[in-house]
Amino acid sequence: MPDSAVLQVLIGLALVFAVFSVAVSRVNEAVLGFFNYRGRQLEAELRRLASEAAHPAAPSQDGAAPPRDITAELMDGPLRAMRTGGGSGVPAVAAVPPARGWLGAVRRARDLRLPTYVSSTAFARAVLEMVEPPARALLHRASPAELAGVFPTDVTDEQRAAYAAAYRAAYDGLTPATAQALHTAMPASCESGRAVTTAIVALLAQSPDTAILPLGAEIALLPESPLKTALTAAAARVGADRDKLVAELAQWYDAAMDRLSGWYKRRVGKFLLVYAVVLTVAFNLDAIGLTRALWQDSALRAVAVASAETRAQTSTPADADGSAGERPDETKVSAVRDIGALQLPFGWTRAGAATDPRAVPDGVGDWALKALGWLVTVAALTAGAPFWFDLLGRLVNMRSTGPKPKPAAAQ
């Protein structure tokens, strides 16, 4: 049905739904960002994975030391750059325990600048850096087995035995002293080995009072949690291979975060429904009234179709996820800005005729019809902007019996 009135009405409705779906998503993003909702939920999930108490920094009632706050160690250590953005004025998570009450939690999240997203690879590397810092990872490269093939021929059996003993001492407890002894025992003619031990000594000089235990011992010190279980299983499968450990832990983290993603989508879906209802009533987006107005006014249909064609030419359905064409944010913002120029009959008025969709209904029947039109609009807006922009492009192409060819200069 190329260029039929029915198709033109559908294009006009799709344009309205697409534009106001963008408005709904923008309101949602603004609210979630203001209350740092994603950051709070991410921290809560990380604490669940580490099985930490609601107030990990608070001492126990029997006077024992507070439980280890793994999340704070990650946020203040390897993941700190995700909070500070290069700055140094952000307080430490360990110094600001989780607050009681909704308002306190929001203030705390904003003060700490909690990240809204942590990739699986970043999380896995951060955990391994916490339980096996770079100095311990380098120690594996300095093992006698690794260096057996690169020791020069002039290295005596006594030197090899002395180095093996120094390595065992460093492996059992890596400290600045044992690292220096390992460096001293390294034969001077083995340049590659001395480069590794020099790096280990330099790394430990940054924290001279800390002893780094073997990987298995460091994992055993973690509090009982799903994270500890996953680390123990991964280390049992792949040993001390750091790259394989990162891959195993990242895969486990992705699986664990799928639960949070599903819960988050369901919760955000409720938020979007509320925003859709508010915008629908505030702007009087009556789908039935809009359909009637577009059907009866050919000039209005022509303007709506022309705007939809312009929108389809400047963006493609892939724009919904940002994979092609004009940047999706710029496209959608311009669509929201231009919708007011179309003079579509949405909004409220008291001076309009009874047939004007913007007029306040007079009777119960009119209110019931208005409410039904609102319900249709709310259902449409909750489908999301990507759906409606994609459908809009398809409808425009259907009207034109296929997509318009690009100009020769653009090919």
The predicted-structure confidence for 23-73, as pLDDT tens digits, reads as follows 899 999 999 888 889 899 899 899 989 876 544 545 545 555 567 889 988
3-state secondary structure the chain: CCCCHHHHHHHHHHHHHHHHHHHHHHHHHHHHHHCCHHHHHHHHHHHHHHCCCCCCCCCCCCCCCCCCCHHHHHHHCCCCHHHHCCCCCCCCHHHCCCCCCHHHHHHHHHHHCCCCCCCHHHHHHHHHHHHCCHHHHHHHHCCHHHHCCCCCCCCCHHHHHHHHHHHHHHHHCECHHHHHHHHHHCCCCCHHHHHHHHHHHHHHCCCCCCCECCHHHHHHCCCCCHHHHHHHHHHHHHCCCHHHHHHHHHHHHHHHHHHHHHHHHHHHHHHHHHHHHHHHHHCCCCHHHHHHHHHHCHHHHHHHHHHHHHHHHHCCHHHHHCCCCCCHHHHHHHHHHHHHHHCCCCCCECCCCCCCCCECCCCHHHHHHHHHHHHHHHHHHCCCHHHHHHHHHHHHHHHCCCCCCCCHHHC
The predicted-structure confidence for 102-146, as pLDDT tens digits, reads as follows 888 899 888 888 888 899 999 999 999 888 888 888 888 888 888
Determine the pLDDT at residue 334: 56
Q: What are the boundaries of each domain within the chain?
A: 5-31+265-410, 36-123+240-257, 133-211
Determine the pLDDT at residue 327: 45
Residue 379's pLDDT band (cuts 50, 70, 90): very high
Residue 231's pLDDT band (cuts 50, 70, 90): very high
